[in-house]
Structure 1
């Protein structure tokens, strides 16, 4: 049975899944981390046998060495690439700029383009490229496919993606809204349509990808028409450690008044803001637990978090000109019934009504959480970005 190896590469780690195309079944998964440190760490699971292995003592100097360790894990613990030959290696690439609107077979020119786009995603694209280059050495002759987080949002109109700054300067430096989490939004919107038994082309839908990183997307007839993340993944919803929307003048004010340089400000907004900045803890579960114990700071932070999501739901209902479905996905969206209920309270005028029993149900399956007969379907649909990457890679090759 042929398969696709899906790789999500970071600067000091990468995750992988081997996905069989027939039946779309995960055959194996793993994690290689602490790359470049004195000793690395690896985990590998053969999903066919249930066997799991780990190693915390192997030096992994670079991504190529990491792929060698991964290959050894497959050789020693299976499954075998001889029994499941690769048709492609699919790579998550965060930023595709405005030139990549779909999955693309990696060539030298594509590598150069990804490298050039590192100016827009300095924390992500260089690491994604490391994974691509390491995979090409590990699997010579197997097509490498780049699947871009930004590609799904290339259907935004100029009115939606343009920032009102100097036009010449914006074009020269590629300043515009790109949007992210596109692979998840694409997968979840199609899965939601299948669950509803309706053509995606007939639906007006808001997908809320709520995890440590979070974004909202307005999807009309299967096309992204608006999304909350912008030039970078910093804009939009409140996140675990990212601020989401702020007045740009906050940066200038803190530079002048607090003496923070721009590197410090960038780090603060990306890594020390969001729930972490508001409460000292970036984990939604811990913040909710604190609020339940009467911590007023935690409850105030959650109010900000929910307020921002509601803001986007209302705005996107207006942009869509109506609403057929609201869909929650990703770690927080799929698993946090309290957040879902309290976020959507008071939106009955839009046709949104939650059924508390349905909402509290703990399940890994797609499901309704809206009340019977409500005009707008509210769903929880688990995302599967790896499967979406595998699908796109297989379709391309």
Structure 2
């Protein structure tokens, strides 16, 4: 079995920061109480839960009671779309949803599900640069539009969307606005007031916290029908015993991310630019996907002409380098990336694409090693393709 020596898939998941693990450990052993229990151990867990909620609320610039803890980004996205849609169905107040063609599948599949029940969905296409135009969102609005959902930063190509402007438009029209901010967390501001959002999804394992925990910010008075029934947890909004250790870890990781934001962003952006420059200058027939400037500081998504991306990834893995061809949630799918198709990329280039996403612990030596391996691999693969064609 190959050992991963260079990890370049931080958009898929991140390692848990040792400081985050240290904060979590007591809640697996000494402080193991159920936060819904009334005795001392339960009250101790409840205090940790309340403190974590307040700590996160300060970073999001919202009220603590506006945060609902979930199992991660997928649940948060599902709750946002289905909750708003079914509230409006229950009250007979509209039937139309606007989203984009290159959302994460947690949003797209939720939208497709709602279409089965008669909801109408408009899928706005991004431009060839991977940016959604505000005017196209505006043109899609109808009198019966109840929800707009646009991701903050794309999970495959890293392009950053004009969320504050779209949110302002939605607020002016009285339409609920949701953003999937899973990839933006730890890199971009999450101030919900500045972003003009009513709903915002986060997933802890994207910013050096554990898997299986996330949140949905829900602005007060947002119309939403809660989807998970059972106990009275999360103020009757999301039944199920809270993952106290995970939530404490998420709060700690988010605080660290924003305390170290400038340093982390500067570091990964320097590595990102070194990687992009090296790929474009050393490997002919390389295309950068998505706008170069309006993208996450750690994201590199490229296509290689005449090459199968999956083969490139296997070659990288043989050299101990971990990368991906897109969303980890679609690994194993034979379908080409809907994100790259949505920006008009030719299917052959879509099949030749890979995503490399950097983290706070990557180094320049690792980037240079990756460039060497990619250059050698692609030259060899193209020679093999030419020989077969003869």
Q: TM-score, normalised by structure 1?
A: 0.22
Please identify which structure carries the higher helix content. 2
Q: Which structure has the higher relative contact order (CA within 8 Å, separation 6+)?
A: 2
Q: TM-score, normalised by structure 2?
A: 0.22
Please identify which structure carries the higher strand content. 1
